[in-house]
Structure 1
Amino acid sequence: MSITSSNASLTLGVTGLFPVAQKMQGFAADDIYDTEALEQAETMMGVDGILSGGYVYNPVSQGISLMADSPSIDFFDRWIAAMRQAGEIYTAFGVTFLPGTNRKYAHTKGFLISAPIMPDAKKVLQPRKFTIRWESVLPAPV
């Protein structure tokens, strides 16, 4: 079985704007998306040398890189414009499917926290990287 990323799919919806999830297309060649590692525990060492710890909840930041001419750029531009016009935040939901590992992940309650306004212009227009901060990203049944 191949673990290529070329067959990965990401669908995103935005409550009140895109109620039906849209399939993202036109990913950057070397960077489809990335997520940060999460701290799973908070620990504290007592003065007597005994370590204590507890589970902590943390949001998941996901960067999504799209080519400058990706048809999915419109999805993000419309999301940004709607928030600017309304002066309100819109929340996202989504699903990632990775056929190479036969795994699916459900994304809940996401906020668009950063977005380049336009692509950088070098020899060719550069990909744009959008960052969504999710309340959770959890494995889901395939």
Structure 2
Amino acid sequence: MDITSSNAVFMLSIATIFPVPQKLTKFAADAMFATDDVEPAEVGKGADGNMYAGYTPYNTPQTITIMPDSPQLTLFEQWLAAMKANSTIYAANATIRIPSIGKKYTLTTGVLSRIRAIPNAQKVLQAMEYQITWDQVDPAPF
């Protein structure tokens, strides 16, 4: 079975800043993108020993790791600059296609929730992490 991630395609658009989807490139060698675990249920146990559970809506934080010479570094910087200049949030949408597993993920209403201002300088400039928090992440076969 092929589970490579090197042929994944990540397309990101931000309606009023980059309305045409941009392909993210120059990911870090050991980290492209990752989502945090989410908790879709509130689970507990009452004093009488009976379990209860209920669905709870959730957001999905995603970390994107690109090299400091990625052409898309400017995309993240311009996204933040627009937010700062206008004191408002600009939402993004994205698709991620992963051919090795035959899946496509549609990510909607994403907010830039964490950004690294300057790359860490060591022997060489280090990879930079950006976090987008998504309202919806929906998988589908392709």
TM superposition score normalised by structure 1? 0.97
The count of aligned residue pairs is 142
- Report what 2:119 is aligned to: 119
Give 1:82-101 correspondences, 5 Å limit. Answer: 82-101=82-101
Secondary structure of the structure 2 residue equivalent to 1:129: strand
Q: Is residue 44 of structure 1 aligned with residue 30 of structure 2?
A: no
Q: One-letter code of the match for 1:15?
A: A
Q: Give, in angstroms, the shift of residue 140 of structure 1.
A: 3.0
Counterpart CA distance in 1 for 2:84 and 2:70 is: 22
- Output the TM-score relative to the length of structure 2: 0.97
Give me the whole-angstrom Cα distance separating, in 2, the residues matched to 1:14 and 1:70.
18
Q: What secondary structure is seen at the aligned counterpart in 1 of 2:97?
A: strand
Unaligned runs of 5+ in 1: none
Q: After TM superposition, what 4+ stretches of structure 1 lie above 4 angstroms from structure 2?
A: none
User: 2: CA distance between counterparts of 1:40 and 1:81?
Assistant: 33
| Cα RMSD after superposing both structures | 0.9
Provide structure 2 residue ranges, at least 5 long, that are not aligned to the other structure.
none
Q: In the alignment, is residue 3 of structure 1 matched against residue 3 of structure 2? A: yes
**Aligned partners of 1:45, 1:19: CA distance in 2, in Å?**
47
- 1:141 offset after TM fit, Å? 4.6
Deviation at 1:18, TM superposition (A): 1.0
1:31 maps to: 31
| Cα deviation 1:83-121 (Å, max 9, x = unaligned) | 111111100000001010010000000000000011000
Q: Work out the CA distance in 2 between the residues paired with 1:81 and 1:123.
A: 29
SS class of match (1:19): strand
